[in-house]
Chain A
Amino acid sequence: DAGVIQSPRHEVTEMGQEVTLRCKPISGHDYLFWYRQTMMRGLELLIYFNNNVPIDDSGMPEDRFSAKMPNASFSTLKIQPSEPRDSAVYFCASSFSGGSQPQHFGDGTRLSIL
């Protein structure tokens, strides 16, 4: 079975540019999570969806960040405009239910904003 698929794996862009990260969850999973990981702040939950509906976006750092899930098999995380402090590894994860079931993480997108 295919796991969570994220693209791109690496992204280097200049500040001010729009960045779009993509995620395909595991088929049948009804929860999708976006995380950001940095050395300073660790692994932070940005937003999660249940059945394509955003449930908790309190972790989204500011209005420059937005996330959508137009259908059960696709989600995007967009940063516009990007800033150097947005440089991090962004992970997408999916699961059956949000509680006891394990979250399956994608390989992440390593984002560098110059």
Chain B
Amino acid sequence: GQSLEQPSEVTAVEGAIVQINCTYQTSGFYGLSWYQQHDGGAPTFLSYNALDGLEETGRFSSFLSRSDSYGYLLLQELQMKDSASYFCAQQGDKIIFGKGTRLHILP
């Protein structure tokens, strides 16, 4: 079936690095997007990977391996404001969002 798997929760310490993984099982795959959503807010776009490799945007990076049907979002130098839910979303014949990973950051 078509689904994306990502951990439901991750906890990390302020200033540290955290990686949020996402696996997908679908045909007609074009690329993988990542979105951030703060409580009570709307999802906001972070990154998109269509090709294998790492895309870096400031403190955030995203990686894709098409052969492994796997990607991850890497957040560096964590700040308290990064506490949010992070969604991976596949772009393809279907647009499907993962259930989201809630990131808790400890001071």
Q: Is the CB of B91 within 8 A of A56?
A: no
Q: A99-B30, A105-B42 are in contact. Are A42 and B95 (CB under 8 A)?
A: no
Interface residues of B in 60-107 (CB under 8 A from A): 87, 91, 94-100
Please name all residues of chain B whose beta carbon is closer than 8 Å to the beta carbon of A105 when the two chains form the complex. 42-44
Give A19-43 as 1s and 0s: 1 = Cβ < 8 Å from B's Cβ atoms: 0000000000000010100000011
B62 to chain A, nearest CB (A): 12
Specify which of A33, A45, A103 lies most central, judged by the most chain B CB atoms within 10 Å of its CB.
A103
Q: Which A-chain residue is minimally distant from B100 (CB atoms)? A: A42
Q: Is the CB of B97 within 8 A of A43?
A: yes
Verify A108–B42 contact, CB threshold 8 A.
yes
Contact: B31 with A43, CB < 8 Å?
no
Q: Give the complex CA separation of A106 and B42 in angstroms.
A: 7
Bound Cα distance from A107 to B50, whole angstroms: 27
Q: How far is the CB of B97 from chain A (nearest CB, A)?
A: 4
Q: How many residues of A sit at the interface, in one of the four size bands? A: 20 to 34
B83 to chain A, nearest CB (A): 18
* Contact B31–A98 (Cβ < 8 Å): no
Q: Does chain A have a CB within 8 A of B23? A: no
- CB neighbours of A98 from chain B (8 A): 91, 95
Given contacts A42-B98, A43-B97, contact A100 B45 (CB under 8 A): no
Q: Which residues of A contact B50 (CB under 8 A)?
A: 99-100
Bound-complex Cα distance A104 to B35 (A)? 10
Q: Of residues 11 to 61 in B, which have CB atoms within 8 Å of A's CB atoms? A: 30-31, 33, 41-45, 48, 50
Distance (whole angstroms) from the CB of A67 to the closest CB of chain B: 15
Chain A residue, CB-CB nearest to B92: A99
B contact residues around A106 at 8 Å (CB): 42
Q: 4 smallest A-B Cβ distances: which pairs?
A: A102-B45, A105-B42, A42-B99, A43-B97
Question: Which positions in A face B, CB cutoff 8 Å?
Answer: 33, 35, 42-45, 48, 56, 58, 91, 93, 98-100, 102-108
A-B contact pairs, 9 of them (CB 8 A): A42-B98, A43-B87, A45-B95, A93-B43, A99-B91, A100-B30, A100-B31, A100-B91, A103-B45
